[in-house]
Amino acid sequence: MTEFFAPDDRARLEAAAELLGGSFLRVDALADVPDTSRARVVVTSWGAAPFTAELLDALPALGLVAHTGASVRALVTDEVFDRDVLVTQAGTGMARSVAEVSLAFTLALLHRVPRMHNALRDGSAAWHRPESAGVQHEILGAPIAVVGASRTGRAYLELIGALGAEPLLVDPTLGAQEAAALGAELVGLDEALTRARIVALHAPSLPVTHRMLGARELALMPDGAGLVNTARSWLVDERALLRELETGRIDAAIDVFDEEPLPAGSPLRRLPNVLLTPHRAAGTWEGRLRQGRIVADEIEAFARRVPLRHTVSREPLAVLA
């Protein structure tokens, strides 16, 4: 937890704990706490155990679960809401970090960096010849499809817009005027895939978005186009993507996978037209501290009995993957 909380935010947590009639205690697991009966707030991170009925029975005074990450689907159960426990998360603090990695991926694919890097690493001299390198592009004037106006999607739109891209936005929850206010042209998914030089995924993991990019959709992408995925592997048929990448027709930059860590024998590791990172797009120092600050804000608000800003309710959580 130390990576999330700067000294001033740790001090705020301690002050909030005093307001709640207790003290702030850092532990690696609730099983390490000799007496959890007075705990009013539990701060969680990735890998925390689900809040089962048995665990909640050991936390009779619990009023708030504050998650330092974004998705709470893996740890929050219906029992949490049945007992009127509030749930909050710090996903907003991750948006800038992930958007910057998406931008880095975008620039890398436009400039054919993965192909050239892998060719040089493997000893090939062919990529010194322009006819072998393929067409390299600038982001200025590039049509870039942004699938999903999420927090991260909006941060990414701001970044690519500032660099002169021509964003195409796919999001059925928005109208054309709302998209225009974000600096983008609202289009359907098929049109975006057909027109875009880069397709960047920032959609949520919902039943309707499961494998929204399959073999048919990937085939719509122009030769030389690139796919950027820093969202969830849920959005893409990974096998169909692998088949398309193996043809060499398109490129991809990927931070998320069906199986994580990505297996050592995964064919994705061997393809020259793929850039891979190990689900670390949100892992910046600044982003982690921003997430901690949000959690401290929420706990402070809970202690002072004022409304929280980042609560999660039962209804939307029920449809998240």
| Pair of tokens at residue 232 | 């969830």
> What DSSP character marks residue 263?
P
260 catalytic residue (yes or no): yes
Q: Which of 232, 290, 293, 310 is catalytic?
A: 232
Phi then psi for residue 268, to 5 deg, are -60, -30
Q: How does DSSP classify residue 123? A: T
Q: Kindly state the helix (H) or strand (E) to which residue 99 belongs, with its residue range.
A: helix 95-110
Q: Is 128 an annotated catalytic residue?
A: no
Q: At what angle do helices 285-304 and 95-110 cross, to 10 degrees?
A: 160
SS3 (DSSP) at 105 = helix
Catalytic residue among 138, 260, 286, 304: 260
| Helix extents (H) in 135-187 | 151-162, 176-181
Max distance between CA atoms of the chain, in angstroms, equals 71
**Annotated active-site residue in 73, 117, 249, 279:** 279
Closest CA to 49 of 14, 36, 254, 38: 36
Which residues are the active-site residues?
232, 260, 279
